[in-house]
Chain A
Amino acid sequence: MTKLTDIEGTDFTASDEEIEAAVEDAAADLGMAPERVSEEVAYILDSGSGRVNNEGVAGAAVGSNADTHDDPRLEALDVFKLRQEL
């Protein structure tokens, strides 16, 4: 299983620290362990393959989500948070 901060990608704009902080906030909101959230978000991005291959999420922030600053990891975290509400 890939760790979220281990995923490689060319368009990552947020630092690992920012990612970890965002994951911790989300985990607190959702009542889940941060490790678990991080794992699920990584899985959203790469389906366990170790490479960023989720085109639909990875490039999705463009122009449409100011909160994620175009970092696909933050965008994937948003997807996960929304998924937990559905």
Chain B
Amino acid sequence: MDASDSTPESGAGRIDTDSTYYELYQKSVELGTWDAEKLVEKVGFEEDREVWESLADDEKEQWARVISYFIDGEHAVAQDARRIMTTVSTPWFDRSIEKEMFASALALEEAKHTQFFDLYLSNVMIDKFPQYELDTRRGGVQIPRTDACGAGKMFDRQGTLQAQAAHGGDPVDIARAATNYHIGVEGILARGGYFAKNRMMQEAPLTLLNKGFQFISTDEGRHITFGLELLEELIEKERQGVPEYQGVQNAIWEQAVEDIGYITDTGYFITGDIGDPLGVDFDDLVNRGARLAGDMLFDTLDIDNAQPRDYMQAAADAMEEARDNDYGEVIEKYDHIYEQKKQAAGD
């Protein structure tokens, strides 16, 4: 229960217990090993089912849009975790077991997040997800709602970037992948989602879902810190003038700008596009996202040559597309594709 209390006495062997990565790992052991099944058992589905059933269809739809991108996002990350483990063990980082130890904890946690959402969605929200059960690795696709918005594209991009980074990628590739995942997906898209769920919980208090989100966001906080530490290492080497690391900050900024387009689209998809029945408020969501991005990119990483107006422009471009987008039609299209895949898988 209180494992790290014994650290000073047990001393350090080959593991550097002073490393931030070790601390993150240790905190994962202490805080991240919650049991999703036990959580579900302890809190139970009943109260949430009751609230869910009392919701109007558009309110259910708003939750469904948020949860779709969470479950597909967690699923995508669980798949990519093995690539992150490979990437952090490459010689581009000062080789150390501590990063791999943390990455292994991250892999477990992402799998557990997928497990929690899988349990929740199947037991509470299933009426909104007739097309859900097909694993993307067994010939399936993302949930149609995820595919219809920027998040779906972002997760596809994440897979490509993580693969490039893990399989012979250089520091610039690694910086792109880490920015996309730790800053974009976890740092803004997911945290924007928590912001949204906090607002939605006021109107529709789904207790078990809230508890799950609290554990998940606690785990994600460590993942984000881990990602920022990795990026700081790469930036440090670039600033020292190590030739192979030149271009790292530029890649971080370019990726962040690309990702804010996907994120803005998703933000609109879960709020303005459906009339925001549970009162998230798109304006507040945008402001929160901007702050989260600013904290990470400017305060923590302090990247050089960033042009904040590029960031706003990318969000503006995404918003322009979003306004003209008929998401319902896109969801229907993906529904159709999903149905075909399901039949094919069943055959």
Residues of A near any B CB (own CB < 8 A): 32, 36, 40, 43-44, 46-49, 51, 53-57, 59-60, 62-64, 75, 79-80, 82-86
Contacts and interface: CB of A to CB of B under 8 A. Distances in A.
Nearest to B217: A56
A59 B196 CA distance: 10
Interface stretch (B164-172, B203-211, B303-311, B321-329): B203-211
B30 A40 contact: yes
Given A53-B295, A55-B195, A62-B198, A48 B23 contact: yes
B42 interface: yes
B216 A63 contact: no
Interface string B264-287: 000000000000000000000000
B76 to A, nearest CB: 19
20 contacts: A43-B27, A47-B24, A47-B225, A48-B23, A51-B295, A53-B221, A55-B194, A56-B214, A60-B201, A60-B210, A60-B213, A60-B214, A62-B198, A62-B199, A62-B201, A64-B202, A79-B211, A82-B211, A83-B31, A86-B34
Interface of B: 1-2, 5, 20, 23-24, 27, 30-31, 34-35, 38-39, 42, 191, 194-195, 197-199, 201-203, 205, 207, 210-211, 213-218, 220-222, 224-225, 288, 292, 295, 300
A84 B198 contact: no
B205 A64 contact: yes
A59 B198 contact: yes
Contact of B216 (A40, A56, A62): A56
A32 B27 contact: no
Contacts of A55: 191, 194-195, 198, 217, 288
B110 to A, nearest CB: 15
